[in-house]
Amino acid sequence: MPASEFSLIYRYFSGLGRGDAVDLSVGDDCAILRLAEGERLATSVDTMVSGVHFPEDCFPEDVGFRALAVAASDLAAMGARPLACTVALTLPEADELWLHAFSEGLAAAVSAFKLPLVGGDTTRGPLTISVQVMGALPLDMALLRGGARVGDTVCVSGTLGDAAAALAVLEGKWQPRPADAEFLLARYHRPTPRIALGTRLLGHASAAIDISDGLLADAGHVAAASGVKLVIDPALLPISPALRTYPDAGQVTRWALTGGDDYELCFCLGADQPLPAGCTAIGRVEVGEGVDCGLDVDFAAGYQHF
């Protein structure tokens, strides 16, 4: 990009880079982060393409917030302590209004999740945002997908299905009461990565994953990695009061089982471990493979939202 556009990037993205672990931030060839003695780096990257991972008419504030929230969710799922993030931005044009709003949303997420923005890249092309997150883990600990043991309880944080229902609202397929619509849309646009829960579960949960593709799909990854079967009782799924107002209970269950974008954690606890606040036990780990929810769920229905 030309120099003037770089000065724009500088204006909007160079002021979010301060943090405890940051020795050098935006402005040089690399950022430099500091790990404490006895820690190792956990890192992950997520890309969001306009029109694929979010609707083209999303507010840029929400695009900025959500891009970092979604990436941060992977740190939560590992139990990592947030260190910093970098953002690679591909923009069709250097639209200052868009950049200003995007950086406001990003700044809100940077501060909410304690992930200072320490670098990035800026290119021209179809609107695409890649966010890399970095976190710290003790040398001998991590929440992995592969540790679930027969007899463990399967748990989830928060409520499920809200983000999938929000997409139905955005598509004009359902008009909930205004307060419920507001709640559901915020669940989609402003997801809450469960970072504090992740660090609390570290050393206590046997396995964990964040729910980005839907509970059944993501629980399936835990089952496969652990070599066990996860048995989930659909009657136990935590459903928000807003989602409960949807007239078709079967669809609500389908959204909770197969809808993506909730960014809650699904984790397994041994019998001696207490259930953390805000979490729900939804099933158990058995001998076998795959995920059994006792229903013949039509995955396609979940993804198409009707």
Positions in 172-211 near ligand ADP (CB under 6 A): none
Q: Give the amino acid at 9.
A: I
Of the residues 29, 56, 57, 272, which one makes contact with ligand ADP according to CB under 6 A:
29
Shortest distance, CB of residue 122 to ligand ADP, whole angstroms? Answer: 4
CB 272 within 8 A of CB 149: no
Site membership for ligand ADP, residue 28 (CB under 6 A):
yes
Size of the site for Mg ion (CB under 5 A): 1
Shortest distance, CB of residue 31 to Mg ion, whole angstroms? Answer: 12
CA-wise closest residue to 195 among 91, 35, 68: 68
Cα separation of 206 and 190, whole Å? 28
Cα separation of 76 and 212, whole Å? 12
Residue 28: which of Mg ion, ligand ADP, none does it interact with, CB under 5 to 8 A by kind? ligand ADP
Cα separation of 156 and 142, whole Å? 18
CB 119 within 8 A of CB 72: no
CB 89 within 8 A of CB 95: no
> Which CB sits closer to ligand ADP, 116 or 259?
116
Shortest distance, CB of residue 98 to ligand ADP, whole angstroms? Answer: 13
Site membership for ligand ADP, residue 23 (CB under 6 A):
no
Positions in 144-163 near ligand ADP (CB under 6 A): none
Burial code (b: 16+ CB inside 10 Å, e: under 16) for 122-156 equals: beeeebbbbbbbbbbbeeeebbbbebbeeebbbbb
Binding mask 76-115 for ligand ADP (x = CB under 6 A): -----------x-x--------------------------
Site membership for Mg ion, residue 121 (CB under 5 A):
yes
Cα separation of 270 and 218, whole Å? 19
In DSSP notation, 176-238 reads --HHHHHHHHHHHHS----HHHHHHHTTTEEEEEE-SS-HHHHHHHHHHHHTSEEEE-GGG--
Which part of the chain contacts ligand ADP (CB under 6 A), choosing from 23-31, 59-67, 225-233, 292-300? Answer: 23-31
Cα separation of 68 and 87, whole Å? 9
Shortest distance, CB of residue 106 to ligand ADP, whole angstroms? Answer: 9
Site membership for ligand ADP, residue 9 (CB under 6 A):
yes
> Which CB sits closer to ligand ADP, 6 or 59?
6
Which part of the chain contacts Mg ion (CB under 5 A), choosing from 114-122, 167-175, 223-231, 292-300? Answer: 114-122
Query: Which residues neighbour 111 within 8 Å (Cβ) at sequence distance 6 or greater?
Result: none
Shortest distance, CB of residue 54 to ligand ADP, whole angstroms? Answer: 18
Site membership for ligand ADP, residue 26 (CB under 6 A):
yes
Interaction site with Mg ion (CB under 5 A): 121
Interaction site with ligand ADP (CB under 6 A): 9, 13, 26-29, 87, 89, 117, 119-122
